[in-house]
Structure 1
């Protein structure tokens, strides 16, 4: 019994395929969605470890490790990894988030065994040589520099830090020049050995596949690396009840010689599994989720003050953010800020119209369905669903929950969310002390 894998069918979605889940004795979870009409397959290994799991001294280590795992294993060089995938017309990549990291490949269905072998090999058996650490350190420092040259991206990091301060959620995923320069091969390898274990991982696969064959191939790949011996249970999902310290009323201005000023105005939001998350999604679409949104119409269409303006939400297991971004001429920041604050206050006090709610819900439903048109997005749905949520909702169930959102619910959420104390982050050519009193 100790070596038996437990398999169950989670759903047979008429808008997709059959979803099955197997838990191996070592705690590794394997989820597949069989879609016979597809001729491609996306394979991903999701690790429940991200930048919020790092100490201050190790800031950026998850992202550093993501780079290094592609540099070579005991069986493959970095060139081998890329050449073998590209020889069959496939692609492989990875990304790091604050609460997880994902390594994936997309290939023709006939080449799924190769994708499984390569991705599992690099995740479980990387050698992490000293030379590769030094080479990739330079690459990551260039990546940080490139990010710093994009103030439209950088201002989001400034805003997040303004809200969460020194908490891990407030730190940049990439780390800083100081932390990346100081990280040693021993520190990175130690983080890898401690954190990357079968019980912290989810394998997600979508496309034209056979579940039993996928399980057999994944199990063999993990066994080959010596990762299949120790019995374990899947790591629990992150706590939904922990309290993340957050600040409000912050005004942070980074002086930089830019043609445009970039600003984010916002506040704390709702966590990932909040009961009102679908209402928040509809509200976000009404405020700044598209060209028909209030902020786009007020700031760009009617006044021509900005080219790019939108609202956004970020959700974590126990915290969240809401914000509005705009890029405009430096002399227009105060006007854009005033319009934004007035519009948010108006929605908080008066709500939005029934027609706007229906439009916001329609945008949500369209994003769900259109976002599942390829195997990569379906693979991501499986990985995130298992790793981050208590349940894997079918497409029909998601659409039903969106349809159940009412104007009264959106108005209640708007009043609660948009009445929270705001913070402001600005990047541009401004003196110290600029915008003092802008939130009064």
Structure 2
């Protein structure tokens, strides 16, 4: 009924509204996500799409957050070791089998999840599941490969250290959550990478790779019943846990962590983080809208000149002069907390005023956000949501992640209805309760001689409100 109503409205709309409604119509016609829980507690989920290729993967509720200081880096190290051979396939055989299928095998580790996935032709679905099951349950963790991968990970760490934005966000987590494993880096410290043993890896798998914390997710031309049969047969070695895992909500700290350097011509990089909300919190979607309202800016980029943009913050930043290089809002959710804020770059002379402007703009959302800004933020968020599901890999990722964090996959139609219900008063309430005059974590790197202390930044923001 609702899709028929939308379809009847389409011809009467202008181009932008037409595109938006077509996206909404597609959302209401989204194929269902089928979910089956196996006797072990493992969940198997899939969405059918009319493609020639399929993505199948394993999403595990485990990451660097569930490590200790002594074994920090283990989850990521395991990701490297997974492709080095099993009892059935050595490294070369594994690589050749994937190549012969015309497939692709990949993995990544985050603070709360570890993911292994394969992309292959629909006729090779069982082979893809078999390979994933093999590397996750029967990896040899060969000592020679382990020693070799230490060097690989250390070189990876060197590359990460050259990516200032990644360094800033790692240090922002350390600043905000420094008493919690959530503040650890994913790669771990050098001393751990050099000392992690086979026993560390096996112990981490034993404690964290439990059936009830695993989702097998697939998207593409998938027969769900076949996927369930293959998963039940091939993932039979994952044991069930006792359901107990000690998880304490990490405390958020208003603090600053600065790294000063005076390289000629270098920019100051900074991030400001507020305590956000978990995935399942009622305000999480409103935070996504606020992130869209704040938006992003990069000097000399974009189709619309900054001073003609409908984004007030972009306009005010452009007025600061050429020293303001860029900013972007971020919103990161975890199981029980979150980080919301902005990242930016500027020259040393502009840094002071730039931080003032950004902090005030975020604080001022509690009072001066407009209907136009809220609607623009919602439209942009819808565009992002629709555009993020443009491949079988993206759909499988969406399924796996949502089942781990929500316990179900939220249909796009439901998400749209919840998004449409957010109005200006809701945005002001969340900004007032969670962003106005709240503690912030600040980290910065570069020429910071003109950067005022955190207490002074907060005092100025409060004074501008008077």
What's the TM-score once normalised by structure 1's chain length? 0.89
Q: Which residue of 2 aligns with 1:6?
A: none
Q: Which residue of 2 aligns with 1:281?
A: 288
CA deviations over 1:237-272 (Å, ceiling 9, x no partner): 997xx5321111x12111345522100122211111
SS of the residue aligned with 2:185?
coil
User: How far 1:109 moved relative to its partner?
Assistant: 1.4
| Contact 1:251–1:435 under 8 Å retained in 2 | no
Q: Which residue of 2 aligns with 1:251?
A: 256
Q: Which residue of 2 aligns with 1:120?
A: 133
Q: Which residue of 2 aligns with 1:408?
A: 425
Q: Which residue of 1 aligns with 2:42?
A: 28
In the alignment, is residue 335 of structure 1 matched against residue 353 of structure 2? yes
User: How far 1:147 moved relative to its partner?
Assistant: 1.0
User: How far 1:296 moved relative to its partner?
Assistant: 3.3
Distance in 2 of aligned mates of 1:100 and 1:340: 32
Change in CA separation of 1:16 and 1:174 when aligned onto 2, cut-off 3 Å? same
User: How far 1:274 moved relative to its partner?
Assistant: 1.1
User: How far 1:86 moved relative to its partner?
Assistant: 2.6
Q: Which residue of 2 aligns with 1:3?
A: none
Q: Which residue of 2 aligns with 1:303?
A: 321
Q: Which residue of 1 aligns with 2:442?
A: 424
145-154 or 311-320, larger mean C-alpha shift: 145-154
User: How far 1:127 moved relative to its partner?
Assistant: 0.8
| Contact 1:68–1:128 under 8 Å retained in 2 | yes
Distance in 2 of aligned mates of 1:372 and 1:150: 27
Q: Which residue of 2 aligns with 1:136?
A: 149
| Contact 2:363–2:431 under 8 Å retained in 1 | no
Aligned-residue RMSD, C-alpha: 2.3
Structure 2 residue corresponding to 1:371, chosen from 377, 388, 402: 388
CA deviations over 1:324-374 (Å, ceiling 9, x no partner): 1111223322121121122223223x2311011011111111111111121
1:90-239 counterparts in 2 under 5 A? 90-223=103-236, 226-227=237-238, 232=240
SS of the residue aligned with 2:251?
coil
CA deviations over 1:213-237 (Å, ceiling 9, x no partner): 11122222224xx44xx6x489589
User: How far 1:301 moved relative to its partner?
Assistant: 7.1
Change in CA separation of 1:301 and 1:383 when aligned onto 2, cut-off 3 Å? farther
User: How far 1:199 moved relative to its partner?
Assistant: 2.5
Distance in 2 of aligned mates of 1:280 and 1:180: 36
Structure 2 residue corresponding to 1:344, chosen from 362, 370, 386: 362
Task: Tell me the number of residue pairs that the alignment of Structure 1 and Structure 2 aligns.
Answer: 418
Unaligned ranges ≥5, structure 2: 1-25, 303-308, 460-466
Change in CA separation of 1:83 and 1:333 when aligned onto 2, cut-off 3 Å? farther
User: How far 1:302 moved relative to its partner?
Assistant: 6.4
Distance in 1 of aligned mates of 2:342 and 2:413: 30
SS of the residue aligned with 2:160?
helix
Distance in 2 of aligned mates of 1:107 and 1:141: 31
CA deviations over 1:359-411 (Å, ceiling 9, x no partner): 11111111111111211111112111211114321111111111111110001
CA deviations over 1:104-155 (Å, ceiling 9, x no partner): 0111212212211111111111110111111111111111111111122211
| Contact 2:211–2:241 under 8 Å retained in 1 | no
Change in CA separation of 1:289 and 1:275 when aligned onto 2, cut-off 3 Å? farther
Distance in 2 of aligned mates of 1:347 and 1:289: 16
User: How far 1:80 moved relative to its partner?
Assistant: 2.6
382-391 or 79-88, larger mean C-alpha shift: 79-88
| Contact 2:320–2:354 under 8 Å retained in 1 | no
SS of the residue aligned with 2:422?
coil
Structure 2 residue corresponding to 1:81, chosen from 82, 94, 97: 94
22-31 or 283-292, larger mean C-alpha shift: 283-292
CA deviations over 1:397-436 (Å, ceiling 9, x no partner): 11111111111000111112221122221111446x9633
Distance in 2 of aligned mates of 1:429 and 1:29: 50
In the alignment, is residue 45 of structure 1 matched against residue 58 of structure 2? yes
User: How far 1:170 moved relative to its partner?
Assistant: 0.9
> Structure 1 segments of 4 or more deviating over 6 A?
236-239
Q: Which residue of 1 aligns with 2:403?
A: 386
| Contact 2:253–2:440 under 8 Å retained in 1 | no
Change in CA separation of 1:391 and 1:234 when aligned onto 2, cut-off 3 Å? farther
SS of the residue aligned with 1:87?
helix
In the alignment, is residue 358 of structure 1 matched against residue 369 of structure 2? no
Whose helix proportion is higher, 1 or 2? 2
CA deviations over 1:4-45 (Å, ceiling 9, x no partner): xxxxxxxx985332321112222211111122x222211010
